[in-house]
Amino acid sequence: MSMKKAITSKTSQDNSPIELTGLSLSSTTINLDGKDQRIWASIEFKEDLSGFDYGWVDYYNEELDDRLSFYFDDDEATSTSAIGYLDINQYAAAGTYELQNIDLYDKAGNNLDAYSDDFGWKNYLSGSGITSTTIKLQINDSDNSPADNDGDGFVDEITNYQLWTSSGGIDLKNRRGKTFSDDTSRKWDAVKAVEDGSMFSILIEGHQNKQGDYKVASANNEGVIMGASRWLNGNQMTNEGYEELFLTDFNGNNQIGF
């Protein structure tokens, strides 16, 4: 791999740049509905000898020749993470912006500079745990309302899990704003979501050594996951009453609720 990692060292103790382990966004789809909006970004990295100093992450739309940039500094950083934000103007141009550049510095002056034109870019993203590679700005009109044609409770044709509601999609995320998708883990997928009062119940289907087992996660009305059950087999799911909730035959008897 020939990813650019330009290093300028100011000390003899720390000669290595920041090693990124994750990048997530509070939302990957923004509806331009007459008000300015803020997107939060979080980066995660291995603990650096001299500590994180500053940096930025750019998303770019080639057709519009327009860029969305997140800036990070040590005021909003821990030893292994940093957060930044971007305010989206209500009059911003609609379109899809692709992750283009990651440029991070530590306090020794070492620089991680990774660019989308570099050889091995896709492998670098995958190896660094980065899945939030696009931001979509869209105009929320009658022709652009969210669709859930397969009835699984998630918005169709969105790369990350978005809970469907009649007023728009809600990103499913953890308490730090990290979103999830089918690519998050090879051991599980979220396969169905049900609005349950003021909460959402999400059906998690296991793979590999958890094939045939399920979890049920709960999320609040902002899509933040608040907790999850233990892994349950089909009979346990039936006994817990989840067949009626998800309208799914978990125990394979061709009946719902028995």
Give the CATH number, domain containing residue 105.
2.60.40
SS3 143: helix
250 band by pLDDT with thresholds 50, 70 and 90: very high
Residue 65 included in any domain? yes
Mean pLDDT score across all residues of the chain: 87
Tokens of 256: 């719902």
Both 133 and 152 in a single domain?
no
Q: What is the pLDDT of residue 36?
A: 81
Express each pLDDT in 117-172 by its tens digit. Answer: 998 898 898 888 888 899 999 876 545 567 887 889 999 888 899 999 877 889 99
* pLDDT of 12 higher than 70: no
What is the rounded (10 degree) CA torsion for 109, 68, 89, 25? -80
Q: Which has the higher per-residue pLDDT, 70 or 148?
A: 70
Both 129 and 49 in a single domain?
yes
Both 25 and 78 in a single domain?
yes
Alpha helices in 187-232 (DSSP H): none
CB 45 within 8 A of CB 52: yes
Q: Among 83, 116, 138, where does a domain finish?
A: 138
Tokens of 229: 């059950």
Closest Cα partner for 154 from 108, 219, 92?
A: 219
Separation in Å, CA 79 to CA 11, 53, 57 = 19, 10, 19
DSSP H or E run through 236: helix 234-239
**Contacts with 78 (C-beta within 8 Å, 6 or more apart), sequence order:** none
Structurally, the chain folds into a number of domains equal to: 2
* pLDDT, average across residues 193-206: 91
Q: Among 138, 173, 203, where does a domain finish?
A: 138
| DSSP-assigned beta bridge partners for residue 207 | none
Instruction: Choose from 35-49, 85-99, 170-184 the range with maximum mean pLDDT.
Output: 170-184
The predicted model scores a pTM of 0.53
Q: What is the pLDDT of residue 140?
A: 60
Closest Cα partner for 70 from 88, 60, 52, 56?
A: 56
Length of the chain (residues): 258
Q: Among 109, 138, 167, where does a domain finish?
A: 138
Residue 24 belongs to domain spanning: 20-138
Helices (H) and strands (E) in the chain, counts: 3, 15
CB 101 within 8 A of CB 116: yes
31 band by pLDDT with thresholds 50, 70 and 90: confident
